[in-house]
A and B are shown apart, each in its own frame.
Chain A
């Protein structure tokens, strides 16, 4: 094998981080939902798909990609809260398998519904004009949109962190993740926190779907892969841990980027291989907490 030039490596690194950022957004949502509600959201990628379609619809109406992103989060977040309130709530405290079955059902039913409404063929979403160019950084030519993804994710994750650390609601969410019954005993209506948390979690999924959309166009079945990726990242990083979602997301992004460069057919195999190795070496994932209540 011939020597790989360093700027190719640097480019793959850059692509890997940009891809990883999408995974970070996706999996941090999954992690919040699991941590707070103990629900493994099988429909997580489905909500990302809804986010991509929301961008498609809003962009075709308003012609602004940024309005599209914001509306995607709001629309999907509200859909998520309604689903949690109407469908998931009655299942808590019963067989823990039931929420899993419900979200699995949603992951089948919602894409079918989207096929009826929007058709089988994917909807292309063009790059926003301001970001379609490239930025030259020394010998490297970095696609502007991917740079945007990285900066955007950084901003979102820092805001999320500040929200969880500094706000009252964030504090309640952190506390409820550990001991929701005690939080309720202190006078807080935890049931409402669960609704908000589910909305936030799928809102983050929608964000991932929305910013991924210009690179892959919105298709009804795009959620399947995204759910699987979110699973892999969450398992690698550790269930219910936000730090794990960040490290796991970037790690899997890099793995996929480098294997697709070397042997593109094996990129998802590599992802599952990493998951298997980490599970063997460290079953609770890189950042998983032990004995969470």
Chain B
């Protein structure tokens, strides 16, 4: 690893200043489970780490049944999936954070880091997209909000401008009779990278789907929303045929590449299978609440 500087920010403004002054080669350091590995393997030129873990807003987590859930960008994942409200209301988020790395990784890794790294295969991003998460961003020009589904712009690329970073992630409170779920396919049972991952959040009125959001990972240059799958569900009774139509739409929407982790055929097929599985699981969650 090359020599680099480390700076600890204790306020949002200080972090913004440090990042701006650091320029191109400054990076936010959250858990470091991506960025330290990248620095060691010289996949990125980094001169400055700005550690944000000492900024209170970035480390807090709040939930209330009116306003929903807000998670500080650097809150370690074990606190996210270990939270009872997350488990009850946002099982998609619980499931996705629970499988990232192993115990050691989860003690450090964060939602902000998973999103900031902007990998097309990131596990928590489809869950955050399905839950209509919103990233609160601070920067040299003040604050702004960006929906997670509009955050990533390419592999490892996103909307953040120089000096900007994510302060927290907000998830609205789901309306009554809503449910959500997340699943991934990996060849191993843990410590693996998603061949495909998928998430769904939906709302039921009786048997009829009144709202749905479906997201997929590892099948395009970024994690993607699958509006076609949502359209196949909304306004329809949740029958096997409806679910199959949502799966087919996901398969259609997936534009994966072939690499050592999977083939095009396999990834398109798994998009179908996993979307069907998360739709069923989300419906089950909706009915159980």
Do the two chains belong together in a single complex?
Answer: no
- Residue positions of B touching A, CB distance < 8 A: none
